[in-house]
Every structure is written in structure tokens, then in C-alpha cells.
Structure 1
Amino acid sequence: MDLQALSLGMNTIWVVLTAAMIFLMEGGFALLEAGFVRSKNNVSIIMKVFVDMVFGVLAFFAVGFGIMFGVDKLGLFGTNGFALQGSLEHLGLSVPSEAFWLFQAAFVVAAISIVSGAIAERMNFKAYILFAVVMAAVIYPLSGHWVWGIDGWLAKLGMKDFAGSAAIHAMAGFAALAAARLVGARIGKFNEDGTVNVIAPSNLPLAAMGTFVLWFGWFGFNAGSTLNATASNIGSIASVTLLASAAGGASAMLYTLFKTGKADPAFTINGVLAGLVAITAGCAFVGPFSALVIGAFAGVLMIWATGWVDRMKVDDPVGAVAVHGFNGAFGAIAVGLFAIDGGLLTTGGWNLLGAQVLGTVVVSVWGYLATAGTLKLIDKVVSIRVSVEEELAGLDLSYHGTAAYSELNADMPAFPLEVPQIQQGKGSEAVRV
């Protein structure tokens, strides 16, 4: 057999299989987010993940892929490759263009799903569909082109983001911050004095299972980004991914254990995810001991960031901003500190760190501003916030006509008989629900 054909076949199988692993992460997002929200909104959050999969994939196929990977225009956006039409020879791919598109489609779906958790339990389903389309077609592909496009302006400056701590996680994490602020907090989350009322998750075992699914898929996320089945660093990438995630979970668990006397399961879950997010940019560039440091700091940073988000009076039911936004930014910047080739702490060089800081700030600000602008425009077409009646009844019944656990809701009225007079998202005169 021709060696070139054999190499192409092996690379194609590798990319398709790792893409499938990343798509399976959507099941992880669904389980994780359903476990963190109340049972009356379990179906709703899972339906939003289905939106990410179906509308996100279609929008990325039609428009987003071309903007992200088409022939460059001014370092800002691509100009061909829409609906996989036209030549993509400029990419110099080691796999067929269809396989490369498949792998990148899995990435864009993950980016949208980061936002879905932050606006859980109170965003209008129709508005979310519109947002998912814009995110997949324009918001993510534009900044993705700057970082990963052959002639993207951040790529030319030397920014390194192997599997997307900045391009995916920081961008989507700060997009989630903008979305959560605009949609407003859930009824009863904040009091007038700014204090926080805990709205307990419905099913932590379900959230934990979702985390294990995400953890599994992340090996495809990071190692698959080689796009090469015979790459010599696949083992190293997978190893540092595991080390950072374990360190993130361990630091979060120990932090809560020594601070409160109890090991907090929700923070442990998000600690693992924070470690995964933080190592995603540098998994191909840092060694195992650096991965341990990055992951351990990420777990604690996630806990601090969760408190900061609460103090901003931003309601984030799953911790998406703390896990993905803050740790995506940290992970991308950490490359400039710990990279074996060019890191400040390893070689004394400042150039890479400068490129990482600039790129991370640009991508994060873009995610926030583009999402805020998009949602304000959507709000003029269809309200981005559900009504008080719909929120109190639960979005499962209000938007999907069914309940996740029908035997627990058989006697529940479609809407409450009395609706409290409150100002949505502000917490004044709010009640626990």
C-alpha cells in the first residue's frame, strides 16, 4: 500500500474518532447542566444542548467554517469554504477537508454549550436558538480565525493556543458572563442587600456523571488537535491533560475541606473542569510539572472567581464563567509562563507572554461585547427573558410541555395560582422557588 495513502487513512480515522469523542461531550454538558439546575428545568437545559448540536452544526457548515478557515482577508476573516465549497489547499491539511470540518464543528458546539449553562432556567428558548446560530456562524468563527487562521492577526503575532483555552473557553466564558448579566438573575437568587440565596442543584450524581463524560471527551479535544495519528506528542498531550485535571480537582477539594471542614462536591466537579480548561492551550507546549501547577492553581482560581461572579450579582447556575472564562484566560496566559519553548519562567523570554496576554484579552473582550450586542438585537425581535409565570412554573412545562420526572409533577398546575410582584433579575421582593 502507498505510504501516503496509509498515512492519510490513519489520520482520517484518528480525527473522526476524536471528533466523535468531542461530540460525546455534549452528553456530558447535558448531564452536568441538568444536575446543576432544578428538576423543573432539566428538560429545558437538555433541549438547549440539542439546539447547540443541530443549529450550531448547520450554521457552522453554512457560514462559520468559511469565516474561520477560508482564505484570509486582512487577517480578520476567511472568504471561502462556505458549505465546504471551494479549495482549502491553503490550510495544508493532513486529512480530507470534510474530516477537518467535522472536528472543528465539534469545537463550535462545545463553545455554544458553555453559554447555555450560564443562562439556564430563565432564557427564552426561541431567543436561545437565534443566539446559537449567531454564535456558530459569526462570533466564534471570527475570533477563531484570528487565533487559528493561517494568516490570522493573532497567529501572526505568535499566539499559541493548541486546543482552545482562549479561542473556545475564554471567549465563550466571557460570552456567558455577558449573557447572564443581560438575561438577569433567577427569581430569588439575590437579596436587595446583595447577599446570595443558594439555589441547590437538583442532582449532583448526575452532574458528576456529566463531568466524567466531559473528562473522557477532553482527551479527544486535546490529543485530537494534533490532526495526526502518528504525532510523537500524543502521549504527552494526554498525560498533561490528566495531570492538570487531577490537580484541579484535588486543589478545589482540599481548599473547601480545609476552609469549611467539608469537601464540596460541586467545587470538586468544577475544579476538575477548571484544570481541563486551563491546560487546553498549553497541553502541547508544557511539561508534566508545569501542568500540575497550572491545574492546581486553576482549581483554586475557579473558587475565587465563583465568589467574584456572585459579588457582581451575576447568576451563573453551573459556574461557566468561573470555569471557562477565568480559567480559559489563565490557561492561555500560562503558556507564556510555562511553555518549554519561549516561556518566561522556562527561558526568560517575554515575547510569547506578551502575545498570550494580548490575544487572551482581545478574544475575551470580543466574546463579551459580541454576545451583549447580539442579545440586545435579539431582544428587539423576541424577549430574551421568560415571563415570571413561565419561570416559576419551570421551563420544562412552559416551553416543552413535559417534565423530566413526570411522577413528581403529576399534580403540579401548569402555572402557579398566585404570582408574586417582583422585578425580574433584581432580586427585590423575591421568593425562594
Structure 2
Amino acid sequence: MESQIFELQYALDTFYFLICGALVMWMAAGFTMLEAGLVRSKNTVEILTKNIALFATASIMYMVCGYAIMYGGDLFLSGIAGGDTLVEDALAASAENGFGGDSVYSAASDFFFQVVFVATCMSIVSGAVAERMKLWSFLLFAVVMTGVIYPLEGSWTWGGNDVFGLFNLGDMGFSDFAGSGIVHMAGAAAALAGVLLLGSRKGKYGPNGEIRAIPGANLPLAALGTLILWMGWFGFNGGSVLKLGDIASANAVAMVFLNTNAAAAGGAVGALILARIIFGKADLTMLLNGVLAGLVAITAEPSTPSALQATIFGVIAGIIVVLSILALDKIKIDDPVGAISVHGVVGLFGLLIVPITNPASTFIGQIVGAATIFAWVFIASLVVWSIIKLVIGLRISEEDEYEGADIAECGMEAYPEFIR
């Protein structure tokens, strides 16, 4: 009887991991649709190509070396095996931890859940450098980002390793439940490094510093992408509980789902109201970014706040993202989709509010952890982007940018019937 309970626990936790991983993979569709909607029609095919290719690249690089760097183990996942040994080891672990103890699940399901997080991190970069970066330069960076840069900072946090052998972030009170800093701020740091080297899109800023809006081509698509991300985020945060096979874990999962939704709703309302105050209109793009800001903010700790606290955190995040997008535009950091603000600025905010509801973390620990993640990813990315720029270049030609990256990089148009 006890063996059957352990087997059920193993099966349930593994299945939960796989379902949540599939939800996070669905976020790739959300990022793709969001970005495709917020860029001009002449750059749509290139955006679609980037997002699908980066997911494939992340899947391969994390298998080759990323997972081993982040958590230890063999390259090419050669240590993940099946058969009787796996069953025996799982049952032994279940017996040791007890029903309701630590998570017990298939190693392959753990890899699958982790690899979709890597792809999410890289997707953040895609939108920020849109409309002017060479496709192959982006994909070359994706190889390094998903294979080395992200896994290394992940090893210092979720992997539990010391930072370059010097100090342990966990011992300092750093906590990041599902990745406001480890995934989202890291992606924004890599994006910022690329944007600084790329420069702004032609025509974005006038000769006297005036800011010119460049509207997206398909706002219904952007709205759909946001709703897909909102749904996928339940797997992102909910799966990070790592377990479902007992009452306490099931209650924790339910609370995480509730708070994730509450923060997204708060972010939407906060951004919408502030946009109405500033612009006198209901700005859809700010509303969409407000939803994402609320989701990013709650990701660092979705299990300990009350639903009301989560909603308030979301409202604040929605306000912050609007102000951040406007501020970055003023200093001529051109981010077509607002990714640096949503994932970077709000990702930092998410880390800093963790100690409010989670006494196991400290403000000092959160600050040190955030600084470590940002410094490593930004500097490493800047070096890699610079090398790529030197060797093959980062930016498409001025003529290609005018004609659109679709023809220059992919040789086809997303909406040919609208152009002819």
C-alpha cells in the first residue's frame, strides 16, 4: 500500500511538472504574437522566425550544456535514464522524504520544465531589439545566452552554487520563487546591452530630441499574445511550487494561481488609469504592458502574499511600467515592445517586495542578488554582443531597415496582399 502511494505521488508530481511546462511553452506563442503585433508589418516574418528559432536553439543548448552548468550533471542529459533503476531510485527517494515531503518526479520532466524557462528569458531579448537587428546575429547570441550566460547565473540561485566561488546568494537571504530576477530581469539585462550597441530605429527620435511614436501593425494580435502569456503564467508560477501530491502543496498551488491572476489584474488597472491620466485616453499598449508588469512583479513570490496584497503589488507594477517606458524613451533607449521596462525595471521591483511577505528573505539579500544577476548578465552580454558586432555586425543596413527586415532577412512578407 505504501509503495502504491509513493508511486502515485511520483506520477502526480511528474504529470504536474509536464503540464506546467507545456503551459510555459505556450508562452512562446504569447511572446511571438505580442511582438508581431507591436512591430510594423514589414518586420513581422522576421519576428516570427526569431521566436520559433530561439525556442529551438534554447532547447538544444540547454540540453548540450546549460542544464549541466545550472544544476550539475552530464552533458547531453546522458544521466537521465529510464528502466527499473529509475523506478527504484524514485521509490527510495519517496520513502526517505515521506508523502508530503520533498518533490519526487522524473528527471526528464525537470529538464523540460527548466528548458522552457530558458526560452522565456531569451524571448524577452527578441522584442527589445526588434526591427533593426540581423537575424543571425540574434541567433548567435541566443546560443551563448541559453547555453552559458543564463545557466551560470541560474546555478548561483536555483542551483545553490556560490557566485564564482565567493559567496552564496541563498545564505544572504536572496529568494526568487519563479524568476522575476533570474529569468525576467536577466532577459532585460541582456536586451539592454544589445539595445545600447544597436541604437534606436531610424526615425524614432527627431533631430531636436522629440519622440515619435511608431505604432504596431496588429494590435488584436498583441492583445491575443498578452492573454496567452497571462494563461501561460499559471504554469510559470504554479509549476515552481514543484509539487502537487499532498494537501499542503495543493493549497500552495491554488494560492499561487490566485495571486498570479490578482497581480495581473492589478497591473492592468494601474497602467490603464495612469495612462488615462497622462494621455487622456485609454492606451491599449500600456494596458497590455500593465498586465505583464503585474505578472512579472508577483513572480518573485506568489505564494506568501494575500490576494489583496498581490493585487496592490500589481497596481504598483502597472504604474511603474508606464513611467519606466516613458523615462526610457526620454533618454532614447528604443524598446519597441517595452520589454526592458516590463521585465527589467518591474523584475527588480518584484525582487524588492519579496521580504514584505516572506520573512525568509532580506532586503539586503534581494539587493545583492539582483545586483549580481544584472551585473553578470549585462556585462557578459555586452561582451558577446560586441564580439558579434565586430565579426558579422549587429544591425541591418539602413536600406534594409527602410524596406523591412522581412524581405532582407527572410525573403517574404507577412501581409503581401495588403501591400500590393
User: Does TM, normalized by the shorter one, top 0.5?
Assistant: yes
Are 1:285 and 1:341, in contact at CA under 8 Å, matched by a contact in 2?
Answer: no
Are 1:333 and 1:356, in contact at CA under 8 Å, matched by a contact in 2?
Answer: yes
Are 2:177 and 2:299, in contact at CA under 8 Å, matched by a contact in 1?
Answer: yes
Tell me how far 1:180 sits from its aligned partner: 1.1
Tell me how far 1:93 sits from its aligned partner: 5.4
1:96 to 89, 106, 118: 106
Paired letter, 1:199: I
Tell me how far 1:340 sits from its aligned partner: 4.2
Are 1:21 and 1:221, in contact at CA under 8 Å, matched by a contact in 2?
Answer: yes
Partner of 2:185: 170
Q: 1:101 & 1:13 partners in 2: Cα distance?
A: 13
Structural mapping, 1:275-294, within 5 Å: 275-294=294-313
Tell me how far 1:290 sits from its aligned partner: 2.0
Are 1:43 and 1:403, in contact at CA under 8 Å, matched by a contact in 2?
Answer: yes
Partner of 1:333: 352
Q: 1:126 & 1:145 partners in 2: Cα distance?
A: 28
1:384 to 394, 405, 415: 394
Q: 1:261 & 1:199 partners in 2: Cα distance?
A: 19
1:321 to 301, 316, 340: 340
Partner of 1:254: 273
Unpaired runs of 5+ residues, structure 1, are: 71-79, 343-350, 411-433
Deviation beyond 3 Å, 4+ runs, structure 1: 86-89
1:206 to 217, 221, 229: 221
Answering whether residue 369 of structure 2 is matched by residue 359 of structure 1, we say yes
Paired letter, 2:11: G
Q: 2:206 & 2:279 partners in 1: Cα distance?
A: 24
Partner of 2:383: 373
- Tell me the TM-score normalized by structure 2: 0.90
2:10 to 8, 11, 14: 8
Partner of 1:181: 196
Structural mapping, 1:8-407, within 5 Å: 8-70=10-72, 80-86=73-79, 94-152=104-162, 153-230=168-245, 231=249, 232-336=251-355, 338-342=356-360, 352-407=362-417
CA deviations 1:259-301 (Å, max 9, x no partner) are 3321110000000000000000010232222212211110010
Tell me how far 1:302 sits from its aligned partner: 0.2
Change (3 A) 1:240 1:93: closer
Q: 1:285 & 1:341 partners in 2: Cα distance?
A: 10
Partner of 2:96: none
**Structure holding more helix per residue:** 2
Are 1:51 and 1:132, in contact at CA under 8 Å, matched by a contact in 2?
Answer: no
Paired letter, 1:37: V
Q: 1:379 & 1:165 partners in 2: Cα distance?
A: 29
Tell me how far 1:403 sits from its aligned partner: 0.4
Q: How many positions carry a matched residue from both structures?
A: 391
- Identity of aligned pairs, percent? 38
Answering whether residue 411 of structure 2 is matched by residue 409 of structure 1, we say no
Q: 2:118 & 2:195 partners in 1: Cα distance?
A: 20
Change (3 A) 1:35 1:167: same
CA deviations 1:190-240 (Å, max 9, x no partner) are 123222111111111110000000000000000011121231300100111
Q: 2:304 & 2:80 partners in 1: Cα distance?
A: 31
Q: 1:28 & 1:393 partners in 2: Cα distance?
A: 26
CA deviations 1:297-326 (Å, max 9, x no partner) are 100100111122112211100000110000
Q: 2:50 & 2:80 partners in 1: Cα distance?
A: 34
Q: 2:283 & 2:156 partners in 1: Cα distance?
A: 39
Tell me how far 1:381 sits from its aligned partner: 2.1
Paired letter, 1:115: V
Paired letter, 1:257: R
Q: 1:82 & 1:289 partners in 2: Cα distance?
A: 44
Tell me how far 1:83 sits from its aligned partner: 1.5
Q: 2:132 & 2:233 partners in 1: Cα distance?
A: 29
Q: 1:273 & 1:171 partners in 2: Cα distance?
A: 16
CA deviations 1:365-410 (Å, max 9, x no partner) are 2222111111001112211111111111111111111100111234
Paired letter, 2:284: P
Tell me how far 1:94 sits from its aligned partner: 1.6
Q: 1:234 & 1:319 partners in 2: Cα distance?
A: 30
Tell me how far 1:104 sits from its aligned partner: 0.3
Tell me how far 1:248 sits from its aligned partner: 0.4
Paired letter, 1:297: I
